Amino acid sequence: MDDTHYREVRENGFVRLPGLAAGEALTRLRAAVDDLKELARDRTVSSGDFVLEAPGIGGWAAWQQGAAALPGVLRSADRIHEHVPGFEAVQRSLDLAGVPVAGAAGSPGTLVNAFLWAKPPVVGSAKPWHQDIAFAPPAFRAGDHGIVTIWIALDPATVRNGCLEFIPGSHVLGLFPHTGDRERRPGEPPRAGAVEPHVADEHLPRTADPVAVPLEPGSAVMFDGLVLHRSAPNTTAGEPRTAVSFVYEVPRPAWSRMEPAAVVRV
């Protein structure tokens, strides 16, 4: 990777990294996903770190509302590197923190979380516009630190099956207001009508058109925690979209700020 990649993430908030986890690394990541899915095989409701997909309502909303989900069909999983050590081993062998993340942020990152993002065919639900930093826990000290995410496709990620979309340059505009409900904590009762947190259309900047980022298996997109992004539902009949992401804490990048965004419309 040359400095062009790093300049893109600084200027646009994201950059493609073709073939980042190809070959053996891709094989190992897919095997780790199989192990993760085995842990969820007998689950019938979302709980803890495992969110099951739910037709018509979406996995997150069903989880928060206590609604029925598809048994064993994952929409997402949190802390996957703790549930299946193979994920941690792959990101370490690729030196993601020390090469691409350090190149973008100016210093190596510290892994703080890893996720599975699954969009099954037909029922794979959308993820609305959001900024990842908006969901950082209070202890994260977002005023001093930023996050850089490396999102790796394990299946072809296409416009048809819900690849990521970004608003270029939105990472330098500050933190946008997020509408919706916070995730309920363990032991809290279900909340009828819970709405997934998102940035409403009227608050989105009009400085640039959204850009879809299709990826081949093993390729990745690296992005700043303040860039606005989303993914559409997977309405294909038989094209799963499976990905994993590794999230790294970095010193607050010079280009980003946490002040509330001034919504720009042109």
Q: Spelled out in words, what is the top-level CATH class assigned to the domain 3-184+193-251?
A: mainly beta
- Would you list the domain boundaries of the chain? 3-184+193-251
State pLDDT tens for residues 126-167. 999 999 999 988 777 777 889 999 999 999 999 999 999 999
Tell me: the pLDDT tens digits for 177-202? 999 998 888 788 888 889 999 999 99
Tokens standing for 229? 């992004």
Q: Which of the four pLDDT bands, split at 50, 70 and 90, describes residue 102?
A: very high
Is residue 173 scored above 50 in pLDDT?
yes
Q: Does the pLDDT value for residue 245 go beyond 90?
A: yes
pLDDT of 266 above 50? no
Q: What is the pLDDT of residue 171?
A: 94
Given a cut of 80, whether residue 39 has pLDDT beyond it is yes
